[in-house]
Structure 1
Amino acid sequence: MSRLEKLKQMLQETPQDSFLRYALALELVKAGETTSGLEALDSLIADDPDYVAAYFQKAQVLAEDEQTVLAREACQAGIVAAKRVGDAHAAGEMTAFLETLED
């Protein structure tokens, strides 16, 4: 059973587990299913807006896909979320990443 299949199986048991949903999104991207991975990240962010890592990962995937404007937006939203939950480290990482994105 592949890692992707295992994650899907585990999510059937605990469908609202944010970590599993995040891991599934990363596996989808890794498998070349970028659109599905981004949709999974969007769904996670909608359901758990404090899951800061999802914003950063979304920004990175979008940047790799040369969707710079959307990557910047994801990063900016992630910085706001990180500050809201008091995660200065994540806010700093996303701020640094944001500075690398060209318009």
Structure 2
Amino acid sequence: MSRREQIEALLADDPNDAFLLYGLAMEYRKEGAYDEALTRFDQLIQQSPPYVAAFFMAGQMLAEAGRVNDARTWLRNGIEEAQRQGNGHAASEMSELLMTLGQMGE
């Protein structure tokens, strides 16, 4: 059983577990299954409170996939949420990535 399959089995018991959803998203990302990863990242930001790391990882993944405008949107939303949650470190990391994407052109 692969790591992804193990996580999916655990999620069957607790489908809203943020740690497991994040792990599953990262496994999909590693496999290059970006749409599936994005679906899990989206689930994480719909939770209350939104899972801030999901914004950063989704933005990073989208940038790597060449979807720069989508990456910018995720990062801007993530920066706002990180600031709302008082997570200055995450906001700073996302701001840095957003600045590098700005230099990559439109």
Q: Normalising TM by the smaller chain, what interval?
A: over 0.9
Which secondary structure does the structure 2 equivalent of 1:81 belong to? Answer: helix
Which secondary structure does the structure 2 equivalent of 1:16 belong to? Answer: coil
Count of residues in correspondence between the two structures: 103
Which secondary structure does the structure 1 equivalent of 2:15 belong to? Answer: coil
Structure-1 residue corresponding to 2:68 = 68
| Distance in structure 2 (CA, Å) of the matches to 1:49 and 1:67 | 26
| Distance in structure 2 (CA, Å) of the matches to 1:48 and 1:27 | 23
Structure-1 residue corresponding to 2:82 = 82
Structure-1 residue corresponding to 2:17 = 17
Deviations 1:17-73 (A, max 9, x none): 011101101101111211111111112212345210000001011101111111001
Which runs of 5 or more residues in structure 2 are unaligned? none
Structure-2 residue corresponding to 1:57 = 57
Q: Which residue identity is paired with 1:24?
A: L
| Distance in structure 2 (CA, Å) of the matches to 1:75 and 1:3 | 28
Identity %: 43
Asked whether the equivalents of residues 44 and 50 of structure 2 are also in contact (C-alpha less than 8 Å), the reply is no
Structure-2 residue corresponding to 1:96 = 96
Q: Given the two structures, how large is their TM-score scaled by the length of structure 2? A: 0.91
Question: Post-superposition shift, 1:83?
Answer: 0.3
RMSD: 1.1
Which runs of 5 or more residues in structure 1 are unaligned? none
Q: Given the two structures, how large is their TM-score scaled by the length of structure 1? A: 0.94
